[in-house]
Chain A
Amino acid sequence: GDSVTQMEGPVTLSEEAFLTINCTYTATGYPSLFWYVQYPGEGLQLLLKATKADDKGSNKGFEATYRKETTSFHLEKGSVQVSDSAVYFCALSLSSNTGKLIFGQGTTLQVKP
């Protein structure tokens, strides 16, 4: 079945370091891909998305490119800030167009000053 696998955390970085959080997926058809972020004590919120192969989603300095050949959607940011500390979830839409999302297990990012 459809699934999402993320790198295990926590990921601990110093401020201004480069961030990569790996995400790979298994899916039938052509899913859309998403990154959601959860700040402490809050619900998830959409960070960026890509709906077809080679699309790049970007927001708040974060980027991710939909790579069909490697079934990946890695999240990157060139210079992280302490305020980026959160849990990041990779997700895909089911090809059945039901609106249902499949989430990865989440990766905790801790950025130290």
Chain B
Amino acid sequence: DAGVIQSPRHEVTEMGQEVTLRCKPISGHNSLFWYRQTMMRGLELLIYFNNNVPIDDSGMPEDRFSAKMPNASFSTLKIQPSEPRDSAVYFCASSLTSRSYEQYFGPGTRLTVT
């Protein structure tokens, strides 16, 4: 079985540009999570979805960040406009149900904003 798929794996962009990160969860999983990892702040939960519905977006840093899940097999995290402080590794994870705590992580997208 394919695991969680994220694209791109690496993204380098200039400040002010729009960035879109993509995630395909494991087939049949109903919960999806977006995390951000930095040296300074560690691993932070940005937002998570159950059955394609956003449940908790309290971790989204500010209005420049938005996330969507139009269907069970695809989610996006968008940053517009991007800033250097957004540089981080962004992980997507999925789990079978909202009560299944085993989360399967993708390989991450390393974002660099110059």
A positions within 8 Å CB-CB of B: 32, 34, 41-46, 49, 89, 93, 97-101, 103, 105-106
Contacts and interface: CB of A to CB of B under 8 A. Distances in A.
Contacts of B104: 45
Nearest to B100: A99
B59 to A, nearest CB: 10
B98, B101, B105 interface centre (most CB from chain A within 10 Å): B101
B99 A99 contact: yes
B55 interface: yes
Contacts of A101: 45, 101, 103
B interface, how many residues as a size bin?
A: 20 to 34
A101 to B, nearest CB: 6
Contacts of A93: 101
Contacts of A46: 102-103
Given A98-B55, A99-B48, A99-B98, A45 B42 contact: no
Contact of A45 (B33, B99, B105): B105
Contact of A89 (B43, B50, B95, B100): B43
